[in-house]
Amino acid sequence: MSLVFCDNPKKFTRFAVVVSKKVEKSAVGRNKIRRRIYEILRINLDKIPKERDYIFVVFSKDVMKMDYKELEKIVGELVEESKV
């Protein structure tokens, strides 16, 4: 997974999660991956820098089978790197 981010002139933070058909053929599987990442972002919203756009790009099918805590750790590390 990777994170693309940029500052935005608006006074709020926006998120997007991109999961290609190459990762998971079924829409149900792609949406499950998106929902898991959006839920992690929702719960940890207070730890995320404001006034920025974030786009999470998922490259691996392993994200669907990954443990919640492990996925949360990966998302957290990506956001931490974006603060630098």
Where residue 2 falls among pLDDT bands split at 50, 70, 90? very high
Number of domains in the chain: 1
Domain with 15 in it: what CATH number? Answer: 3.30.230.10
* Domain range for 55: 2-82
Residues 6+ apart with CB under 8 A from 75: 1, 37, 40, 41, 44, 56
Residues 9-49 pLDDT 10s:
888 889 999 999 999 999 999 999 999 999 999 999 998 88
Residues 82 and 5 sit within 8 Å (Cβ to Cβ): yes
Query: DSSP string covering 13-77, please?
Result: -EEEEEE-TTT-SSHHHHHHHHHHHHHHHHHTGGGSPSSEEEEEEE--THHHHS-HHHHHHHHHH
Helices 68-82, 27-43: crossing angle, 10 deg rounding: 60
Predicted pLDDT at 12: 86
Please report, rounded to a whole number, the percentage of residues in the chain having pLDDT higher than 70.
99
Q: What is the pTM of this model?
A: 0.88
Predicted pLDDT at 32: 94
Predicted pLDDT at 84: 63
